Chain A
Amino acid sequence: MNIHEYQAKEILKRYGVPVPVGRVASTLQEVKAAAAKLGGRCVVKAQIHAGGRGKAGGVKLASSPEDAVEKASEILGKNLVTHQTGREGRQVGRVLVEQGVNIERELYLGMVLDRAQSRVTMICSSEGGVEIEEVAAKQPGKILKEAIDPAIGLQPFQCRRLAFALGVPREVVGKMVAMMQALYRAFDDCDCSIAEINPLIVTKEGQVMALDAKMSFDSNALFRHQEILALRDLNEEDPREIEASKYELSYISLDGNIGCMVNGAGLAMATMDIIKLCGGEPANFLDVGGGADEERVAQAFKIILSDARVRGVLINIFGGIMRCDMLAQGVVDAARELSIKVPLVVRMQGTNVELGRKILADSGLPIITAETMAEAAEKIVQAVKKF
């Protein structure tokens, strides 16, 4: 789960990471008040869950409260298109109004899981303000890392090693170490999956500060973080993905026109792949899970068909536990209730498969059945072409 920059900064501040003074605003009136409080000179930053805001015109300098209002009016309520939002962009509902600071140096500080080591790693670079993936690709020597032993946590010597390697002035090293340890505490306490301070700045006055901040959280750990769950912004998410998550369905929108319903993540990905191999384009990823019952199957159906681009649906279920007769009944009921008009191909394997096929055949609905995955993919691609 992702949160906004202003929310990440509030969390980091609680853990002792210095951040610029600022206030979030959703109206021009609030922008004016916030800017006046900062003494006029300030930065207005669009709050959306996507990177590349600066280049896209979502971050503007202002010289007075009036200027801040003018700059904010160019951002608030508008659609911001960055390289991460897709063509349609994201509507900006809030801006962060922040004090301007005197930047001496821009650095990068981040934390991420190193899967190969099964450890959280702190990453630093002297190249702040650019995407770390870009630095890693072009100047791998400029990436510094420290793996963290979970038994003892991030140690001061590791932070000093990073700070000295970054070449920050001696009198700033202590502040940098404190900031790194604060970031680690926040990351660990909040079950983060990513935390990034980019840029981390050293000011002309010799302070360190998080000028931008990004945090995302392990969704499997949110059960123990109600306060973080409360920061979820549904406007930033695909409505169908939100609907799916209510029924414990894992759904992701894609660009094609063949809807898929599959049990299991690996098989669901493989089903998308085989549709593509047969010359079709999948409209979504959808994992109904292992214990899917009639209700969940029906909900999954509704979500797939709520996508107007869908011209056909492929159901591919390899059940161990799942009973095919129950699944077939769920499919028939949902197809009737929704009076499905697009072609539907069902391939199922598992317990009571013969009974399941009989239920589909006897339903009187134009359901196409298939024995194998390849046959199912070919049939749906052909059916969609004719439809």
Chain B
Amino acid sequence: MSILVNKQTRVLTQGITGATGQFHTKACKEYGTQMVSGVTPGKGGSSFEGIPIFDTVSGAVAGTAANATVIYVPPPFAADAILEAADADIPLIICITEGVPVRDMIRVKRYLEGRKSQLLGPNCPGVITPGECKIGIMPGHIHRPGTIGVVSRSGTLTYEAVDQLTRLGMGQSSCVGIGGDPVHGFEFVDVLDLFNRDSGTEAVVMIGEIGGSAEEEAARWIKANMKKPVVGFIAGQTAPPGKRMGHAGAIISGGKGTAREKIEAMKSAGIRMASSPALIGRTMQEALGKL
């Protein structure tokens, strides 16, 4: 079992003819993901690696029954791409693009209210169910099928955590990157809820970072609802206040959003916190009584 994506997921790529779109569409197809169609306005009727290309998302959905879409279009056009996918009622929209303006995302989230689509990202690595379906830019080979769910605001730090899990013999049910932007789709709580209800997930790794209060909200939710062990890590314990640490959302502002606050909130919710980023896998072993 898994969450969000599996063998049945049929994936559309928006921005399939750009360099990034081509590279990752090919990599995901090689991983075994059903890459069924692509969209690049003006290139409809052509194909890439045997994948048919359409001018519009609604055309691609009608033609190939895509039920998930991954977006690689450049930042000025990313919001429009998400809206087009939502208009076509695609259930799962994954936006990889980094650098989407906040104002655009505020409008996008408003548009998504009450619609059938759910959004993951932007500025995220995507989602993978090892051995079944990889959508996004994560390196497939470090993952193994298993029972640990992973949810994170980061990209490469998630790879680091997954690599530790795999090396210690703990495979993953699904790994979800919710992205590093201040306004985004899926929150920690949404993904935790899915893992909580997934019979194939035994325990969860949650990786947060400075900025905002999503980790505190997740901690409250976990305390009240989570039935499975959760291991946590917060990046940015040494980050100075008032500085944006790479991710648009990773900033301590007005003294709020510090790593210390988040770690305290998570600890008090019963989450087992890894004291070092190198000990995420080991902390999970402890949580599962495997040490």
Question: Are B103 and A320 within 8 A (Cβ)?
Answer: no
Q: In B251-291, which residues have CB < 8 Å from any A CB?
A: 254-255, 275-279
Q: In A250-299, which residues have CB < 8 Å from any B CB?
A: 250, 252, 254, 262-277, 282, 285, 287, 290
User: Contact mask B105-121 → A, CB, 8 Å, 1/0?
Assistant: 11101100000000000
Among B110, B156, B249, B254, contact of A136 (Cβ-Cβ < 8 Å) = B254
| B154 within 8 Å of A (CB atoms) | yes
Which residues in A have their C-beta under 8 angstroms from that of B212?
115-116
Closest CB-CB distance, A196 to chain B, in whole Å? 11
Question: Are A269 and B155 within 8 A (Cβ)?
Answer: no
Closest CB-CB distance, B150 to chain A, in whole Å? 13
We find that the number of chain A residues with CB closer than 8 angstroms to chain B is: 54
Which residues in B have their C-beta under 8 angstroms from that of A116?
212-214, 217
Question: Are A270 and B76 within 8 A (Cβ)?
Answer: no
Question: Are A266 and B156 within 8 A (Cβ)?
Answer: yes
We find that the number of chain B residues with CB closer than 8 angstroms to chain A is: 59
User: Contact mask A78-116 → B, CB, 8 Å, 1/0?
Assistant: 000000000000000000000000000000000001011
Which residues in B have their C-beta under 8 angstroms from that of A277?
275-276
Q: Which of B49-57, B59-67, B192-200, B237-245 contacts A (4 or more CB under 8 A)?
A: B237-245
Main secondary structure of the interface of B (DSSP, over half): loop
* Best-buried of A191, A220, A268, A372 by chain B (most CB within 10 Å): A220
Among B105, B110, B247, contact of A266 (Cβ-Cβ < 8 Å) = B247
Question: Are A269 and B156 within 8 A (Cβ)?
Answer: no
A270 and B254 contact, Cβ closer than 8 Å, known pairs A118-B109, A191-B101, A264-B154? no
Question: Are A115 and B137 within 8 A (Cβ)?
Answer: no
| B235 within 8 Å of A (CB atoms) | yes
Closest CB-CB distance, A362 to chain B, in whole Å? 25
Closest CB-CB distance, B218 to chain A, in whole Å? 12
Which residues in A have their C-beta under 8 angstroms from that of B278?
274, 372-374, 377
Question: Are B75 and A373 within 8 A (Cβ)?
Answer: no
| B231 within 8 Å of A (CB atoms) | no
Question: Are B245 and A318 within 8 A (Cβ)?
Answer: no
Question: Are A318 and B238 within 8 A (Cβ)?
Answer: no
Alpha-carbon gap, A263 to B159, bound state (A): 11
User: Contact mask A203-233 → B, CB, 8 Å, 1/0?
Assistant: 0000000000000001011011000000000
Across the interface, name the chain B residue whose C-beta is closest to A192.
B103
What is the interface of chain B, defined by CB distance below 8 A to chain A? 23, 75-76, 99-107, 109-110, 125, 137-139, 152-160, 163, 180, 182-183, 207, 209-210, 212-214, 217, 233, 235-240, 243, 245-250, 254-255, 275-279
What is the interface of chain A, defined by CB distance below 8 A to chain B? 113, 115-116, 118-120, 132-133, 136, 149-151, 188, 191, 193, 218, 220-221, 223-224, 250, 252, 254, 262-277, 282, 285, 287, 290, 318-321, 349-351, 372-374, 377
Beyond A266-B207, A273-B238, 14 additional contacts (C-beta under 8 Å) are A115-B182, A191-B102, A193-B102, A218-B102, A254-B238, A262-B156, A264-B246, A266-B157, A266-B250, A285-B239, A285-B243, A285-B246, A320-B159, A377-B278
Ranked nearest first, the 3 interchain pairs of A and B with the lowest CB-CB distance are A266-B154, A265-B246, A264-B156
